[in-house]
Structure 1
């Protein structure tokens, strides 16, 4: 079953044409021979009908007149005629180009692209040169040294390219003002904010960048329809996932919170100037129209991954308990969703899988914790307790939604094989309010341990979970908490820790955003604060057989964290196995090699089933 789950085509990045008639989107499929994901642009009529393949590539963007699509092919910008299929290459940069931002008149496209900074004498750096830095941002997503993103603009008619920004700082994500005279963008200029996630909004005026407002930790931005302000999605204090959507005036006056809640998708504008976004409400998604905010429809149990609006309707990509992702339209007056595709149902038409139940749990201090339970129908009908996997999400400010989880196909496979799988949203999870979100700041492990263990106790007491067949797993922060729990309880018979952390002191100095991550989540960089939160401080207590899975080129949670945990468990005589995935980074379960995703799932299933059957 797990192999079938890993083969399902998944759509993303839907954009609706300006007239609202057609939707372009990216369809990701698996190329088994090349061991890679294949991405292509497809078109579908917004009123329904069969989708058709348009071209290879990703990141489609409609021209303002709807006659062309700008797409990325092999990291270069191309123009595609959606009717004839004619293609024209627009850029030919050695380091590639980023996604297109069309000027309102359709004559220019802005984009960001990587630039290699020169040596002091103006010559290019060689790959063999030593990396010399006085800033923390010398490493990000596997890129080390002298590479920075900067802004460019290309003339559509001629292909002439002009670089707009340069220097030892970062500029990316350009958006044109409504009149086409200015560019807003996200930038990181101040060396003092390196690795603090303090990207800020700027406007390029007369060739010079001007910082707008005092907001930082930028997630997305757009122009207000008036042209007098920016719409800025910024992270809330002590959060990297719960952004606020603000209107930030260009004149320096106070920013206005448009939503008073957590926005997810970047703000999108309708043709008549209305502002739309999506909101995380208790780990499900709803579309909101803003100023003033009002929800569109009463959808539940879906997760929206793309939103693009015309005038009377929007295009969305959504996941649900029965799909990894589908294309749909959303009527902006009624909120009614019309699904246009059936990729998951077509790929898995002969399979049945478990749909999630929504249990809630009262923790001993009075906190309510919710989540999702994948419960085997076989054990439920028999009335017998089943083996239980507690699977912990990343973050800590992530969340489990009730949809099919692309990076975790082992969940459905285990449930189909007779397991129950518990997916909890403990304190720190996004979508449950600011207080809940901030409750684990500087108290990782201490602040959320009860939220994970007490629900397991309740399922045991209810006869759903077998107390002698309990397992724990997690990825990223979930790997951290797997390490923490196995260092503080021996109740689990098996553990699978992926992409995890064990030593916060060393993590702060070795992760690509380590310093910022320590400040944002763990309470700073003082070892006296970090050590009590580190599972490694209690590693001598571990008795649980542990499978450790990690990407070799992971810069967010460097591979040394896995190796340190493995060495400690091996030295202690704890049964353990270390699996390292080459040429893979922290996000390899969703964007790496398909074979690695399948291997990860199979190894997790094998380890868990073998150890719980003993």
Structure 2
């Protein structure tokens, strides 16, 4: 039953990236399905009427963007930009670049499209670098997004009437994610221009008028999303906070150099780092993470629009009185809906998960809170089986991630274990986003030490309640969850089995080998001083591990390089601890959501089998 269930769950179609036409009549979105023959995900653009009706296939591709008049869609297909008429099917190829193109940004008058695209740098004498040439660097960030060698993203504009494409930026720096000013005269974009910049964690906002040199706006960096204020006098940017001092912020950054304004200062919650959306009448909306549930807010003045519990919104695009969203919940991996911007009422337009799983019954977790001895309240979700019985503690990534109330796309083994009579505990320990700035910052430079009680003491409470059998406990996690799995098994022998996915064990080497290593050390772990990093590294106490451990890792992971998994495996194997290392060829850090479908299924199957065979 578990094998069949996992296979079924991994084939569910999932919509994402909903965008609403300016007149509010139609919604375009991307539908991701599994092509089992090609062992690949297939992405196509679909449309649906905002008032309801059957969804319609538009074209293969992704990243749809409506023209200002709502008649055409610009989409990415096979890494090139195309213009599609969703009514007639007429299409026109806009780019034919050897290295591909990025998503379209329409000018307000609909006559131009801005985009970013990779550019090959040249030597000082103007000759191009050849494939296989040595990569020479004098700064960090050379592995950011993979070993890019001599390629950099830069900005371009297409004049739709003539098809003429003009490059706007160039040089040994990066420019991407363009967005037009409300009057169509300027472009804001995310850039890495300073040669001292370490990596993408230092991305900053820039503005340029086509034909002029770009100008950096403000002093803020760590940019993650960017748009214009409706008056064109400022940018609105979502950013990470240095040293994890606060949750992600949403700032209004004036072009005149005056001080930025924190647009979420009135609430103790942070941005989801999604790009804010502007209605046709000039209102700006954004999504906020409140207790691992998405709330939609109108900005300036700050006003909540939604109060629905147990919902995670993955895309928001507004017109006038309503917006388009894609969302996930405990009942779906993803659906498309409209959101009334006056009442906050959601109208669901699709039923992809229900249609795919109509013969499958799956468990829903219940919310739980736990009082920790240090005085902290920790919340989470529990798939509760009849007890006392086996329990899996599954740890989220981050550390500033969170378990939200939704079907977890990359972790279908949770539902399979629940169906097999396991309890599965999903906790949001200190450091998780969505629970206030103090909670977010509580474990800075104290990873492992600070959050371990938040993970272990709830298990004690579930044992006392007769839910968990103390002799049948397991632990698993991915990314930071893999790091904490390693940490816990190096500090306690209470777990009968462990699964460490995409994890880390040696922070000293991680800082120098990860694609954003130095920035990540500063953001989370307290800097690059080995004296600070070693106590937080599970490898320092690997000699104390006794738990049979399955190690799963993408072979091409640049965020948590594969050497972290190999180092942990070698140490356990040398100590004669039962262990197994599984490497997924070609898989990066996000392979559970965007890699090969067979790898996602294999990951869950191995996790399920390793745990059920040993606990």
* Contact 2:243–2:526 (Cα < 8 Å) also in 1: no
Corresponding residue for residue 395 of structure 1: 398
Change (3 A) 1:241 1:41: farther
* Contact 2:144–2:199 (Cα < 8 Å) also in 1: no
Cα distance in 1 between the residues matched to 2:389 and 2:350: 36
Change (3 A) 1:32 1:196: closer
Cα distance in 2 between the residues matched to 1:424 and 1:119: 52
Change (3 A) 1:581 1:417: same
* Contact 1:141–1:585 (Cα < 8 Å) also in 2: no
Task: State the shift of 1:158 in Å.
Answer: 2.0
Cα distance in 2 between the residues matched to 1:189 and 1:549: 36
Question: 1:254 and 2:262 equivalent?
Answer: no
Cα distance in 2 between the residues matched to 1:38 and 1:367: 44
Corresponding residue for residue 475 of structure 1: 478
Alignment of 1:40-439 (within 5 A): 40-195=44-199, 197-205=201-209, 206-239=211-244, 242-260=247-265, 261-264=269-272, 265-376=274-385, 379=386, 384-439=387-442
Question: 1:497 and 2:500 equivalent?
Answer: yes
Cα distance in 1 between the residues matched to 2:531 and 2:115: 44
Query: What is the Cα-based RMSD across aligned positions, in Å?
Result: 1.0
Cα distance in 1 between the residues matched to 2:199 and 2:176: 16
Corresponding residue for residue 20 of structure 1: 24
Corresponding residue for residue 600 of structure 1: 603
Q: So what's the TM-score if we normalise by structure 1?
A: 0.98
* Contact 2:245–2:437 (Cα < 8 Å) also in 1: no
Alignment of 1:529-568 (within 5 A): 529-568=532-571
* Contact 2:19–2:29 (Cα < 8 Å) also in 1: yes
Cα distance in 2 between the residues matched to 1:241 and 1:83: 47
Task: State the shift of 1:120 in Å.
Answer: 2.1
* Contact 2:144–2:200 (Cα < 8 Å) also in 1: no
Cα distance in 1 between the residues matched to 2:407 and 2:495: 25
- 1:336-384 deviation per Cα after TM superposition (whole angstroms, max 9, x unaligned): 00001110000001111111111100000100000001123xx1xxxx3
* Contact 1:196–1:517 (Cα < 8 Å) also in 2: no
Alignment of 1:450-469 (within 5 A): 450-469=453-472
User: Once structures 1 and 2 are overlaid, which stretch shifts more, 289-298 or 544-553?
Assistant: 289-298
* Contact 1:312–1:332 (Cα < 8 Å) also in 2: yes
Task: State the shift of 1:196 in Å.
Answer: 6.5
- 1:94-139 deviation per Cα after TM superposition (whole angstroms, max 9, x unaligned): 1000000000110100001111211222111112211111011211
* Contact 1:241–1:397 (Cα < 8 Å) also in 2: no
- 1:258-281 deviation per Cα after TM superposition (whole angstroms, max 9, x unaligned): 122311221100000000011100
Cα distance in 2 between the residues matched to 1:266 and 1:128: 37
Cα distance in 2 between the residues matched to 1:369 and 1:283: 12
Cα distance in 2 between the residues matched to 1:350 and 1:272: 45
Alignment of 1:486-525 (within 5 A): 486-525=489-528
* Contact 1:323–1:345 (Cα < 8 Å) also in 2: yes
- 1:237-290 deviation per Cα after TM superposition (whole angstroms, max 9, x unaligned): 323994211111111111111122311221100000000011100001011111
The secondary structure found in structure 1 opposite 2:43 is strand
Task: State the shift of 1:141 in Å.
Answer: 2.3
Task: State the shift of 1:82 in Å.
Answer: 1.1
* Contact 2:81–2:102 (Cα < 8 Å) also in 1: yes
- 1:183-210 deviation per Cα after TM superposition (whole angstroms, max 9, x unaligned): 0111111122212711111101352111
* Contact 1:296–1:332 (Cα < 8 Å) also in 2: yes
Task: State the shift of 1:142 in Å.
Answer: 2.0
Task: State the shift of 1:312 in Å.
Answer: 0.8
The secondary structure found in structure 1 opposite 2:569 is helix
- 1:55-83 deviation per Cα after TM superposition (whole angstroms, max 9, x unaligned): 10000000001111000000000000011
Task: State the shift of 1:236 in Å.
Answer: 2.1
The secondary structure found in structure 1 opposite 2:202 is coil
* Contact 2:246–2:437 (Cα < 8 Å) also in 1: no
User: Once structures 1 and 2 are overlaid, which stretch shifts more, 111-120 or 562-571?
Assistant: 111-120
The secondary structure found in structure 2 opposite 1:143 is coil
Cα distance in 1 between the residues matched to 2:151 and 2:8: 39
Change (3 A) 1:320 1:497: same
The secondary structure found in structure 2 opposite 1:238 is helix
* Contact 1:222–1:232 (Cα < 8 Å) also in 2: yes
- 1:556-606 deviation per Cα after TM superposition (whole angstroms, max 9, x unaligned): 000000000000000000000000000110000000000000000000000
* Contact 2:322–2:338 (Cα < 8 Å) also in 1: yes
* Contact 1:219–1:243 (Cα < 8 Å) also in 2: no
Cα distance in 2 between the residues matched to 1:121 and 1:282: 56
User: Once structures 1 and 2 are overlaid, which stretch shifts more, 151-160 or 301-310?
Assistant: 151-160
Task: State the shift of 1:144 in Å.
Answer: 2.9
- Structure 1: gaps of 5 or more residues: none
- Structure 2: gaps of 5 or more residues: none
Cα distance in 2 between the residues matched to 1:237 and 1:124: 38
User: Once structures 1 and 2 are overlaid, which stretch shifts more, 558-567 or 197-206?
Assistant: 197-206
The secondary structure found in structure 2 opposite 1:436 is helix
Cα distance in 1 between the residues matched to 2:251 and 2:8: 43
Corresponding residue for residue 610 of structure 1: 613
